[in-house]
Amino acid sequence: MSRILVVALLLGCAGCSSLIASATSGLADNLTAAILEQDDPGLVRDGVPAYLLLLDSLTMSENASSGVLGAAAQLYAAYAVTFVSDAERSKRLSARGYEYGRRAVCDKYRPACAWGEADFDEFSDSLGDYPAKGSDALYAYSVSWLAWLRAHSDDWSALTDLPRVEAALARLEAIDDPEYRANVNLYLGVLNSLRPPALGGDPERGRAYFDRALALSGERDLSIKVEYARGYARLVYDRELHDRLLQEVIVADPHAPRLTLSNVLAQEQAKDLLESADEYF
């Protein structure tokens, strides 16, 4: 769950840019591409807060659209866990993102407004009827929820929400929106690799999700290999797989259309994981 995720941030930025697209027809696409293909994470870290404030102002309306709310949810989620090191600040920012995610999915699907009070069976039944055309809002909701859980990983009671998040991602998997397909499989791989089998985890199922995410991304998204190594390989103590995946990340060219920022961050994480491998294994 530690990735959660630069890709989400980039999708959020895409939503931000669309809000000002009327100023010039090419601005939205150009701004999104500039962020996605930025190889200096520090520049993005310093620049994103301006968009967070912009989105805050736009979400103040009771009639804020699910698109605006979803963009705010994803941007806050990713910024909170990717660029904020202070634990309490990360909790505050991720909580704001999660609230935007809940508002987004409520706006798109009215039964979702009651999900906070529903038991697991009621939640699952309602998810089964969630409309495919609302995949954008459900994705924002799921990502912001995962970010909130990541920021609250020291609270065992918060982790009881994991089965619900997995159920939401499973619904997204069934919807099979091409825009989110690889990331949904990545998240499901992470969730299934959080615990060993003795504690209810399913590492081999997680591995299958990681393999599928790699295939869907054409192995261009280096962060998938990092999470594969961190999640599955470390859980099952497969040092050979762990080191191979991370070494592949480090030697790869990070520059790829719409993935450069994510890949640069993945390479930084890969180096850290390799340096700590001897202590872990």
- Per the CB < 8 A criterion, the answer to whether 137 and 108 are in contact is yes
Q: In terms of domains, do 208 and 163 share one?
A: no
The answer to whether residues 273 and 143 belong to one domain is no
Residues 139 and 250 in one domain: no
Q: Which of 116, 141, 170 is the last residue of a domain?
A: 170
Confirm whether 175 is domain-assigned.
no
113 and 217, same domain (yes or no): no
User: In the prediction, which pLDDT does 32 show?
Assistant: 54
Closest CA to 227 of 270, 261, 196: 270
Residues 11 and 117 in one domain: yes
Alpha-carbon span 31 to 21, nearest angstrom: 10
Give residues with Cβ within 8 angstroms of 22, minimum separation 6: none
What residues make up the domain containing 198?
A: 180-281
Residues 96 and 71 placed together within one structural domain of the fold: yes
Say what the pLDDT of residue 30 is. Answer: 57
Contacts (Cβ under 8 Å, ≥6 apart) of 174: none
In a domain, 223, yes or no: yes
Low-confidence ranges of the chain (pLDDT < 70): 1-33
- How far CA 191 is from CA of 218, 231, 249, in Å, comes to 22, 9, 22
pLDDT recorded at residue 25: 35
Please say whether the beta carbons of 11 and 74 come within 8 A.
yes
- pLDDT tens for 145-200 read 999 998 998 888 888 899 999 999 999 999 999 999 999 999 999 999 988 888 77
Total domain count, the chain: 2
Give the residue from 76, 224, 66 showing the smallest Cα distance to 144: 76
Same domain, 156 and 222: no
pLDDT of residue 194: 85
**Contact by Cβ (8 Å): 94, 165:** no
* % the chain with pLDDT above 70: 88
Query: Does residue 122 share a domain with residue 19?
Result: yes
Same domain, residue pair 139 and 189: no
Shared domain for 120 and 227, answered yes or no, is: no
What's residue 180's pLDDT?
93
Q: What are the E-state strand segments in 45-85?
A: none
Q: What is the DSSP string of 150-187?
A: HHTTT-TTGGGGHHHHHHHHHHHHHHT-TTTHHHHHHH
For residues 149 and 215, state if they share a domain.
no
The verdict on residue 82 lying in a domain is: yes
Please report the pLDDT score of residue 21 as a whole number: 43
135 and 38 co-located in one domain: yes
pTM for the model: 0.86
| CATH number, domain containing residue 219 | 1.25.40.920
Domain's final residue, options 119, 141, 170: 170
Residue after which a domain boundary falls, among 121, 140, 170: 170
Nearest-angstrom CA–CA distance, 273 and 59: 38
